[in-house]
Structure 1
Amino acid sequence: MEDFARRAEADRAADFVALGGTVLTLDGAGRRANAIAARAGRITAIGTDRAVAELIGPDTKVLDLGGRTAIPGFVESHNHPAFFGMTLAAPVDAGSPPNDTIGDIVDRVAQAVADRGPGEWIRGFRYDDTLLADRRHPARSDLDAVSPRNPVVLTHVSGHFCVVNSAALRAVGVDAATPDPPGGHIARDERGEPTGLLAETAAFLVTSRLPGQSAGELAAALRLADAEYLANGITSVHDTGIGLIGGAAELDAYRALRRGGELRTRIRGYLIDGLVPGLAEGRPERPDGENADERFALTGVKIIADGSIQGRTGCLAEGYTCAPGEHGMMLIEPAVLGRRIAALDAAGWQVAVHGNGDAAIDAVIDGYARLGAPDGTGRRHRIEHCQTVREDQLDRMAAHDVLASFFIKHVYYWGDRHRDTFLGPDRARRISPLVSAKSRGIHFGLHSDTPVTPVPPLEGIWCAVRRVTREGAVLGPEQAVDVEAALRGYTIDAAYLAGEENLKGSLEIGKLADLAVLSEDPTAVDPDRIRSLRVEATVSGGEVVWSLPPAPARPR
């Protein structure tokens, strides 16, 4: 980079300048530049190196792009930060990899038991029954063998199930006489005894009562998640389900971090519907003390309409290919869903409803349709995941201005199993139908649903462009979008989902100076390489908040 003099006077000098590379603005015209400047956290100039260098003063922080590419900071439109942080800190990694069998997971539980005192709870995350050689969920008998006195909870990768041992069942009072809760299921053996597998709201009977979920402990989990987001170029996250893991303590954890100035990732929160005061009576109220700012705002309310396809609890109009008589389940009655949507809309809340199966999506659209035609107020209600949405449903979404956040990484992580096991080839090739949505003018964001799948947005962009499954097949190539559309799904279009497109998501004068610096230009490389590009720096409000550690020096 040319050595520019620091000649700008204090009253016009930038606080931050990045120059010497490519700047993808992702503005409406798709303009490119070489440099960008910011003052007081907002972008003040975009242009050539020489023009922007005129704003460098004695105290300006200068980031040399060195030929790299700066893009808007990624906006993750559906994540679970507290849940994510808890998985990062958990004593048991139950995922596959590294585990091939239930026995491998049990060995990890046994080690955790050895490391802890009697009676201490042990948590594990990410087990996936469809990737285990045993082809089944673990059972309480598997866990009892190594943990007779320590309660154990293993949470499924989807977040919709958990497996617990006998000590955990006793601790929360679940036994053969316990009825299935509404919207949930307690798996039982031939004698009617719980097997340890709990689905949907039954899983919440345990996970909502676990120790280790105080506001302080949840704040520690949020810090871990925050560090991972920044390392992946993510500057804003939509937390779609505050309270789902730790109840009201999650909101308290955010409040504590906010007071302490520890929120580095910008959070737009969607409070789980069960925590909204007065909602059951049709008079929802906002919690006290939630003044929005650029770091944190309660933007809306999250409702979970159905379960997951891979757990066979996503509510489908046609049965599962592997079990034609099964259609999944609604976790909330359609009439109740409609009433809650209407009450929240009337109270000015944005509504985000989890809908995986097309039958559930029908119920969600019905609820939104009853609100009447779009009234120009920018209500911007959403469907989360929207995985098996049909063409006729996309028509209805467009007619009622319903937005979508697509779980695009399903294509890679579950595409093969959706095709061969759960949905069959015709329905599977249409999961996350981005081209169909785009052709109708539907605004959509893309997401990873972390911790369900790994967080890197570059992987999600690659999924949207290539639609390659884990086994290397291309699933529904007609639904693959170009690189710029995929980038927009993780930036400006994701910002639109929270009504923030005038604040972030593109690099334009007056917007927040939030950037991700990539090793190369994703629009100029072979699409197969997008997934392997590196995030090398993350900038929030004109401050470098994360940078790639330097490579260790090689011994001479």
Structure 2
Amino acid sequence: MQESLREEPAADFVALGGTVLALDPAGRRVRALAATGGRITALGSEREISGLIGPETTVLDLAERTVIPGFVESHNHPAFFGMTLAAPVDAGSPPNDTIADIAGRVAQAAKELGPGEWIRGFRYDDTLLADGRHPTRADLDPVSGRNPVVLTHVSGHFCTANSLALREVGITAETPDPPGGLIVRDARGEPTGVLVETAAFLVTSRLPGQSAGELAEALLLADEEYLANGVTSVHDTGIGLIGGAAELEAYALLRRAGKLRVRVRGYLFHDLLPGLAEGTPEAPDTGGADDKFAMTGVKIVADGSIQGKTGCLAEGYTCDPDEHGMMLLEPAELGRRIAALDAAGWQVAVHGNGDAAIDAIIDGYSRLGSPTGTGRRHRIEHCQTVREDQLDRMAAHDVLASFFVKHVYYWGDRHRDVFLGPERARRISPLVSARSRGIHFGLHSDTPVTPVPPLEGIWCAVRRVTRQGKVLGPEQAVDVDAALRGYTIDAAYLAGEENLKGSLEIGKLADLAVLSGDPTTIDPDRIRELTVEATVSGGEVVWRRETAGVTR
């Protein structure tokens, strides 16, 4: 039977002729839906919904494809992502196997750019290079000519610079390590070019080519990639982390021009919030929020990355037992900032990879008052090595999580064999343990750290297969329905938007992803082979393949 909000002579948008997975509490499956004014108005059979087609109705013929709610990506960095798409040097692996390969790409960029122009590269991963180390200025200086060079690590927690770039920003042997960071030095005390955590900001925050207009162009590049992968909403967890206050202006430019197509929920990088360092942060200003952009919370970075050995662990790294990583904020200061933000009315999202950092984050949240928290839905980002006892505490204080589930595939082998050892590695992103405690969580790709496709993330959550084809912690694998919800309705919950998006129900936004097949019925190993055929935002087809039939 057709479910309808009201009787209407015709709908603005209709999708029919396939499977519609509502992902509502009842788990409904229907054949068609209709929308008017950007909201879903009816779900039902093809015959029922066909009656709502008028001469001005946009009709999407599903051709037996599958419709799900548009993906909600709960932890990404759109400006950073767009910058990587536009960068002159792809330093990733693949395509690079050695530092010499990366140096060759830098040399080519130096030939194409004028003297003095900055060369930017992204995605290098020291653990995938045959050299087994970070590139240094000694590698970059001979090939970069008169161009300053900065290469950013795939994790975003490191960068490496040539001598000219170091000189441009004033980093010398006398420059002290900033709090929460490290300038790597050689035996003579000279900087090698490798900059760790907050030390990387000494360079990246002062790069040219990061005006609001240029960052807006980067955001548009990211916007297109999100839509091509069925993502209709993104949590930008760290606005200003790369481009400073200009990132806010970039969003403002796109909103004024009506060019922002993906819905963005922003989490301002904590260093940009006036008054926070003094304990009196400005309160949220929700006056300018709309369904395309809203500043939802504040992002704090508590520690680094496991693969960089800067994630703060209670027990040492397997490959280096005396190394426990680092806290970028002392636990007491972290707790003070959490309390001040909560008192001012902000939702807080804290990056925590190592279990020692996660302890400090939970300590901060647990001191806010009642055992069940304040209702602001405070979050832990990545939450990679969270222990069972910590999950108990998270459940007791209503702390949410956004799990970086793609770590299982992209770094699972190295976590098992190098960084964490078998027992700790098998428990990264413990989705079953979190779910058994009723903890709300979303799943994410942390793009540009790993590729966007949510279908790959869903496959990771269901299969937990590493790059070497080994299953890592099968007891933490969830079913397809739970994984889908981690990228839709449960991710929407993290930003307090579960009544607006994340499932296909009457009155909710008509945000849809059209898939080539039904992820709930195919072999789970084939989920990541599915493709997105069309993306719909507010009842408008905003991206489609040529094979997706749309008529009007």
Could you tell me the TM-score, scaled by structure 2's length?
A: 0.97
Residue 475 of structure 1 deviates from its aligned partner by: 0.1
Deviation at 1:377, TM superposition (A): 5.3
Q: Does 1:426 align with 2:418?
A: no
**8 Å CA contact retained: 2:372, 2:396:** no
The yes-or-no answer on 1:142 pairing with 2:134 is no
Does 2:336 match 1:339? Answer: yes
Equivalent residue number for residue 3 of structure 2: none
Could you tell me which residue of structure 2 aligns to residue 80 of structure 1? 77
Secondary structure of the residue aligned to 1:145 is helix
**2: distance between equivalents of 1:377 and 1:366?**
14
> What CA deviation, in whole Å up to 9, does each residue of 1:393-436 have, x standing for no partner?
00000000000000000000000000000000000000000000
Q: CA deviation at 1:75?
A: 0.1
Provide the C-alpha distance between the structure 1 equivalents of 2:19 and 2:247, rounded to a whole number of angstroms.
Answer: 39
Q: How far 1:373 sits from its partner (Å)?
A: 2.3
Cα 1:464–1:338 shift into 2, 3 Å: same
Deviation at 1:280, TM superposition (A): 1.1
* Aligned partners of 1:277 and 1:287 also within 8 Å: no
**1:398 aligned residue:** 395
> Could you say if the C-alpha distance between residues 290 and 114 of structure 1 is closer, same or farther in structure 2, counting changes exceeding 3 Å?
farther
CA distance in 1, matches of 2:69, 2:489: 8
1:300 is matched with 297
Aligned partner (choices 208, 213, 216) of residue 211 of structure 1? 208
Distance 2:54 2:113 in 1: 56
Partner of 2:444: 447
Matches of 1:374 and 1:255 in 2, distance apart?
A: 38
Aligned counterparts of 2:348 and 2:90: Cα–Cα separation in 1: 33
How far apart are the structure 2 equivalents of 1:541 and 1:191? 60
Mapped contact 1:229–1:455 kept (Cα < 8 A) = yes
Matched, 1:24 2:14: no
Q: Which amino acid aligns with 1:183?
A: G
Contact between 1:277 and 1:285, CA under 8 Å: does it hold in 2?
Answer: yes
One-letter amino acid of the structure 2 residue matched with residue 453 of structure 1 = T
Once residues 447 and 310 of structure 1 are traced to their aligned partners in structure 2, the CA distance between those partners, rounded to angstroms, is: 18
Aligned to 2:160: 163
- Helix, strand or coil at the partner of 2:310: coil
2:456 counterpart residue number: 459
**What is the deviation of 1:374?**
5.1
- Provide the C-alpha distance between the structure 1 equivalents of 2:522 and 2:375, rounded to a whole number of angstroms: 37
- Answering whether residue 150 of structure 2 is matched by residue 153 of structure 1, we say yes
TM-score, length-scaled by structure 1: 0.96
1:272 aligns with 269
Matched residue type, 1:17: V
Are 1:306 and 1:329, in contact at CA under 8 Å, matched by a contact in 2? yes
Matched, 1:125 2:100: no
Q: Distance in 2 between matches of 1:62 and 1:470?
A: 41
- Report deviation, 1:13: 1.1
Gaps of 5+ in 2: 1-5
Question: Which residue among 175, 185, 190 is the counterpart of 1:188?
Answer: 185
Aligned length in residues: 543
2:227, 2:543 within 8 Å by CA — same for their partners in 1? yes
- Partner deviation per Cα, 1:140-188 (whole Å, 9 max, x = no partner): 0100011142100000000000000000000000010001000000000
The reply on whether 1:95 has 2:92 as its aligned counterpart is yes
Q: Following TM superposition, by how much is the alpha carbon of 1:53 offset from its aligned partner in structure 2, in angstroms?
A: 1.1
Q: Which moved more, 1:530-539 or 1:285-294?
A: 285-294
- Aligned with 1:472 (options 469, 474, 492): 469
| Contact residue 373 and residue 397 of structure 2 kept, 8 A | no
Superposition RMSD in Å = 1.3
Alignment partners' CA distance in 1, 2:479 and 2:211: 44
* Structure 1 portions without partners, runs of 5+: 1-8, 552-556
Could you report, residue by residue, the CA deviation over 1:303-357 in whole angstroms, capped at 9, with x for unpaired residues?
0000000000000000000000000000001111101100110111000000000
Q: 1:317 maps to which residue?
A: 314
1:54 to partner: Cα distance: 1.2
Residues of 2 paired with 1:417 and 1:549: CA distance?
Answer: 40
SS of the residue corresponding to residue 138 of structure 1 reads: coil
